[in-house]
Structure 1
Amino acid sequence: MINPIWLKTFCTLVDIGHFTKTADVLFMTQSGVSQQVKKLEEQLATPLLIRDGKSFTLTDAGIRLHQEGRTLLQASELLEQNVKQDEPFVGQVRIATPGSVGLALYPFLLDLQKRHPALRISHTFSPNKSIERDIGLRQFDLGLMTYPSTSADVITEAVAQEALVLVTPNTIESLTWQTLQNLGYIGHPDGHQHCQALLQPNFSQFEHPSQFTEKGFSNQISLILEPVSRGLGFSVLPLHAARAFYAQERIRIHRLSSPVNETLYLCRHSHVVQSQRARYVAEQIKTLLSQSNK
């Protein structure tokens, strides 16, 4: 009989494609991962990997073992979930979200955990593509994305609309095209996309974000509005990110005459029976998001 621990290590390595990252996920050392794969090869008396430095490719036997082994492991995990007692307020729930909605969600999750001390919530900020991939790999129980998944392993459900807003220094009471030109733009990784989406239907003069002088850039969601608050420019962000900025008295959030929203999708693995605790947290998240955009 194949050792299930060695099999899990091998399948996780193939899914992730990297020895060091696999070791981190499984809370092992890199040498421990290598040793377990080697023991599995010895047990089966056939090579599973062709190693090339830090990278590897699968042999035919390795491909077959990964395909059938992953199915076996998932069936085993589902069986364990079904026979164990499943309580709504006990155990771990792993969640991944984009930065903007995560800023609003994280304090709420801490409140849930405080209300139910036996509930352990792990929250990770992550981009959409990584969330979709990691939900498929079952590294998270729940995720939020700003587009529906195209993966057969991931179910997405539209749960809320998140408004895009234009944010200026607090001294700016009314907006004109010339005001934006004078202020200049504070960029961020999704800035051009957000700028295009919100400004095009609201300003006839708008063609492209390059029409504005870029006065600054930050890839940290909590810091994007720091230069805005100091009068150095304007930015376009999802509402959750704008509301989460610590110095609200120094910024002004503008909702424009033609509103633009991003849809938020709650996602989970399509072949996993959700625990009661994951369902509970998912319902709490949906309730929060349905109220927070008002």
Structure 2
Amino acid sequence: MLNPQWLRTFEMLADVGNFTRAAERLGITQAAVSQHLRHLEDRLGLLVFRRPRGIEITPAGRALLDYCAELEVSDRKLRDRLAAPDADAGEIALISPGSIGLALYPLLLDLQAAHPGLSIRHRFAPDSEVLAAVLANQYELGLLTLKPDDERLKATRFAEEPLEMVIPAGETVRTWEDLERIGFVDHPDGLAMANRLLSRRFPGNTGARALPRRGFSNQIGLILEPVARGFGFTVLPRYARRAFARQEAIEVVECDVAVVDTLWLIHRAEWPLPRRAQRVVEFLCAQMAAAGG
């Protein structure tokens, strides 16, 4: 690693072209300028030719000046990243379950459209991956359906999300036999969600696993497509249902006793969020509150 003071001296010498003026500008002696140059040349080879009217930079010296410029750019980027002075610029990294992600991603794009200096990086993932990614500092912000028990994380209530039974438009569900007739459209969390909701709606039922399975999709945005085409019913979080484009093709069966998940916003507790991340959190909370989330 080259001494930063030697590099500053060399840059000044190359800029003014004279040992005496370089020493004056730097506030050091001419002997110190010569010493710094000698240390660099001991490591890198000849950097300047001394001429009667000044100096001439060698190819090795030009390469060293390019290196100094790259260091300056890197240093500036580091200081900008650490200072994070602008709430309207920089990357926002959020990882969330798919359902709430369907609701949040368009809002994040609206924010980016209003503040083009922001860059949005969003990933859909299950709770376990969300937790691991935030703990590994791969994402600044995460959303979980279960409050984490880890002192390294700060968890704040973000929103509530009921589970909903969604059926094809025009269908009627009054009894368990109706569900057996319609059949179940499954997804990665389908059976667990269905059992939680159906145990409230139909106490004593045999469980969703006993229902005829009419289809399966692991794409959160496509789970309701077979429902809309009349192939079966499913159970999903509300934000996934709201994001579906063809609302006229589906219906929600109301349940007397709601099953509601609390969504938790998490980030590392040991250091403060950058201003841009704080702004995003405030924006999303306000948007969710306005939407009744």
TM, length-normalised to structure 1: 0.69
Aligned to 1:214: 213
TM-superposed deviation, 1:92: 1.0
Closer/same/farther in 2, CA of residues 148 and 93 from structure 1, 3 Å limit: same
TM-superposed deviation, 1:254: 2.3
TM-superposed deviation, 1:272: 2.3
The equivalences for 1:143-182 within 5 A come to: 143-182=142-181
Structure 1 SS opposite 2:209: helix
TM-superposed deviation, 1:86: 1.6
- The answer as to 2:285 corresponding to 1:286 is yes
Cα-to-partner distance string for 1:194-242 (whole Å, 9 max, x where unaligned): 1111110111242321221111111111111111111111000000001
Q: Distance in 2 between matches of 1:85 and 1:178?
A: 59
Aligned to 1:242: 241
- The answer as to 2:195 corresponding to 1:196 is yes
Do the aligned partners of 2:172 and 2:178 also contact (CA within 8 Å) in 1? no
Closer/same/farther in 2, CA of residues 179 and 272 from structure 1, 3 Å limit: same
Aligned to 2:105: 106
Q: Distance in 1 between matches of 2:190 and 2:251?
A: 18
TM-superposed deviation, 1:83: 6.0
Cα-to-partner distance string for 1:146-166 (whole Å, 9 max, x where unaligned): 011123322211221101000
Do the aligned partners of 1:183 and 1:232 also contact (CA within 8 Å) in 2? yes
Which amino acid counterpart does residue 105 of structure 1 have in structure 2? L
Larger radius of gyration: 2
Aligned to 2:251: 252
Q: Distance in 2 between matches of 1:181 and 1:293?
A: 33
Structure 2 SS opposite 1:200: helix
Structure 2 SS opposite 1:122: strand
Structure 2 SS opposite 1:189: coil
Closer/same/farther in 2, CA of residues 82 and 273 from structure 1, 3 Å limit: farther
Which amino acid counterpart does residue 229 of structure 2 have in structure 1? R
Q: Distance in 2 between matches of 1:99 and 1:91?
A: 24
Q: Distance in 2 between matches of 1:85 and 1:106?
A: 23
Q: Which runs of 5+ in 2 are unaligned?
A: 2-77
Q: Distance in 1 between matches of 2:140 and 2:99?
A: 20
Aligned to 2:118: 119
Which amino acid counterpart does residue 148 of structure 1 have in structure 2? K
Aligned to 1:39: none
Cα-to-partner distance string for 1:29-49 (whole Å, 9 max, x where unaligned): xxxxxxxxxxxxxxxxxxxxx
Structure 1 SS opposite 2:201: coil
Closer/same/farther in 2, CA of residues 268 and 80 from structure 1, 3 Å limit: farther
TM-superposed deviation, 1:251: 0.8
Do the aligned partners of 2:162 and 2:261 also contact (CA within 8 Å) in 1? yes
Structure 2 SS opposite 1:201: helix
Q: Distance in 1 between matches of 2:291 and 2:82?
A: 37
Closer/same/farther in 2, CA of residues 80 and 152 from structure 1, 3 Å limit: farther
- The answer as to 2:140 corresponding to 1:141 is yes
Structure 2 SS opposite 1:167: strand
Structure 2 SS opposite 1:272: coil
TM, length-normalised to structure 2: 0.70
Aligned residues: 218
Q: Distance in 1 between matches of 2:172 and 2:283?
A: 36
Do the aligned partners of 1:132 and 1:154 also contact (CA within 8 Å) in 2? no
Aligned to 1:273: 272
Q: Distance in 2 between matches of 1:214 and 1:83?
A: 52
TM-superposed deviation, 1:271: 1.5
